[in-house]
Amino acid sequence: MGRASVWQVLNKRRFGVFFAGGFISATGTWVQNIAQTVLIFRLTGSTFFVALVNLAQFLGPVVLAPWAGAAADRFDRRRILVLAQTSSALIAATLAVVSGLGQVTTPILLLCALGIGLGHALSVPATQALLPALVDEADMPVGIALNASTFNLARAIGPLIGAVVVNQLGFTWAFTLNSLSFMAVVGSLYVVQPRAQELVRRGRARLRDSLAIVRADSTLLTMMVVVAVVSIAADPVNTLTPAFSVDIFSRADSFTGFLVGAFGIGAVIGVASVMRRLASSLRVVSVMLGFLGVGIVAFGLSSAPAVGLVSLVLAGLGYLGSITIATTLIHKTIEEGHRGRVMAIWSMSFFGVRPFASLIDGTLASLFGPRVAAIGMALPALAMAVWLARRSRPVGT
């Protein structure tokens, strides 16, 4: 799958406009992530509270997954996204006002992170399920890879912008920019015209029904586990980087933006690495998981900023490679009528484990230090890489 096909998909108005809106919104999200991470660390001086903010932000997929997935199948996905993005924009704007007045406290920051996380939980299944309606069937693998890369392309520049904004303009501007960025998705949704959605009428949304769909297919189940493991192993990038910046590398806390940005640069490299290998094997997934695990371990052991940055580039490459291949295989396996519910399980696997991963990560860092925490969080990825390598066989076409 060559480079020309990537540009052909991006040049199609239906997908290209939506991709641009998602990229702008994701960049704003990363600006706020860096700002709220640095702010909570300044307010408390505690890695545990950094983890608590991450927990609040990613708790939504656990709480709303059954309803959000069913809603993405039963209701207009575009309207769901408009509602979720607008609500998140209002919450970010409220936080900006409170910050401008100098009244931000730890509880307020936690509540706003929780509110935006709930909006995100509603958006993810709808976004993932809407994607096939924005691309032709032949272009779907490329569209999925580009969609998976949106958040990570933003990860490459958003944290850097966040670090500069926090240093030069302050937290209020960071929250304001994020509020405005949500409207980019809303605007794109009024421009694009997805193919008509066949609404599915069901009874009460039940998590066990969605889980039964995943359990019934070994490929779906395996790839969902891969998605969860990737999310766990990548958590140190969000939770531990402030402590590494200050305590290990003796830099300002805003150096967090450069560390997270290095991980994002690795993700950009990962896009180029996997774009030609979407129909691949478990062995390729295992290699990518190995890159992620080894990169996080090397980061945990690093003492020099340069080594830490390079380690996170490697980790980012493995992160994007594994998550893209896994997500592509999931989309190719599920039926259209189940897409919203299955992608809600994807959301739980990717975002839903994050609250618990962040809590474990922050607790380990508080008890044993950030180095031990980083290495410990990488172990599931390394174990999964070995397991997949042992049972590797061609998957997908």
Q: Across the strands, what pairs with 281?
A: 394
Contact assessment for residue 188 and residue 17, using Cβ atoms and an 8 Å cutoff: yes
pLDDT surpasses 50 at 3:
no
Domains and CATH numbers, the chain: 3-191+201-390 (1.20.1250.20)
The pLDDT tens digits for 169-227 are: 889 999 999 999 998 888 888 877 665 555 555 555 555 666 777 777 777 888 889 99
How many Å apart are CA 194 and CA 78, to the nearest integer? Answer: 9
- Find how far residue 143's CA is from the centre of its chain: 17
């993932």: which residue's tokens?
128
What secondary structure, in 3-state letters, does the chain show?
CCHHHHHHHHHCHHHHHHHHHHHHHHHHHHHHHHHHHHHHHHHHCCHHHHHHHHHHHCCHHHHHHHHHHHHHHHCCHHHHHHHHHHHHHHHHHHHHHHHHCCCCCHHHHHHHHHHHHHHHHHHHHHHHHHHHHCCCHHHHHHHHHHHHHHHHHHHHHHHHHHHHHHHHCCHHHHHHHHHHHHHHHHHHHHHCCCCCCCCCCCCCCCHHHHHHHHHCCHHHHHHHHHHHHHHHHHHHHHHCHHHHHHHHCCCCHHHHHHHHHHHHHHHHHHHHHHCCCCCCEHHHHHHHHHHHHHHHHHHHHCCCHHHHHHHHHHHHHHHHHHHHHHHHHHHHHCCHHHHHHHHHHHHHHHHHCHHHHHHHHHHHHHHHCHHHHHHHHHHHHHHHHHHHHHCCCECCC
The pLDDT tens digits of the residues spanning 278-327 come to: 455 678 888 899 999 999 999 999 999 999 999 999 999 899 888 878 88
pLDDT tens-digit series, residues 148-171: 667 767 766 787 788 888 888 889
Between CA 311 and CA 317 the distance in angstroms is 10
The pLDDT tens digits of the residues spanning 67-94 come to 777 777 777 778 888 888 899 999 999 9
Q: Which amino acid is at 241?
A: T
- Confidence at residue 309, expressed as pLDDT on a 0 to 100 scale: 93
Beta carbons of 218 and 391 less than 8 angstroms apart = no
Q: What is the structure's pLDDT at 397?
A: 42
pLDDT above 90 covers a percentage of the chain that reads 22
Output the CA torsion sign for 260, 98, 356, 346. Answer: negative
Q: Is the pLDDT of residue 14 over 80?
A: no
Rounded Cα–Cα distance for residues 46 and 253 (Å):
12
Q: Which two tokens stand for residue 288?
A: 């990518």
* Distance, CA of 159 to CA of 261 (rounded, Å): 5
Both tokens of residue 112? Answer: 């706003």
pLDDT for the residue numbered 300: 94
Cα distance between residue 230 and residue 55, in whole Å: 17
Residue type, 357: A
